[in-house]
Amino acid sequence: MSADDHQESGLSKSVWSDADFEDMGWHYATVHGLHVRQTDADPPRLLLDLDYIVRWVQPLPPEKHFTFWVSPATLVFDDVQDLEGGLGFKGRSPDLEIDAVHRLTPDDDRQDLPHWHVEGHAFDLRFRASGFRQYFRRTPQLTSRYTLPPADRGGCSFDEVAFA
């Protein structure tokens, strides 16, 4: 096993990119933080701190509930333009869970900046970006929930460093 894979959970590497898009799925990934990073020298970047479900584990009878291999991760979109969206949650404790991430083909001459749609259960983000990288910051943990407690995930973080 190499330093950046975790065979038990099925995670084959600790940094993924838009080249791996077809192999990834963000359904029920919990978003803990969102940051738009702007500098004078670089185009804006969109960073999401999330708990990524590496693998759903089918229950074995007599168990009735799934378990999950979950890892805290930083999802980074580069060269972000035309960012728009909204939040639609109510109550005191919003759960920002991703339903799906869509990569859409541009309908103009800007093929270098595809449209992205992060569709959430209580939020929606649409933007253009040249691509993404996702850094798995810690080895996946087997848990009965699809989100990790703050102590197990290292709090909210936008670190772009993968576990070794």
Q: In tens digits, what is the pLDDT along the chain, a chain of 164 residues?
A: 344 567 788 898 999 999 999 999 999 999 999 999 987 878 899 999 999 999 999 998 898 999 999 999 999 999 999 999 998 877 766 679 999 999 998 788 777 789 999 999 889 999 999 999 999 999 999 999 999 998 899 899 999 999 98
CB 79 within 8 A of CB 63: no
Do the beta carbons of residue 67 and residue 57 sit within 8 Å? yes
pTM: 0.91
Q: Tell me the C-alpha distance between 42 and 76, whole Å.
A: 14
Instruction: Report the distance separating Cα 1 and Cα 79, nearest Å.
Output: 34
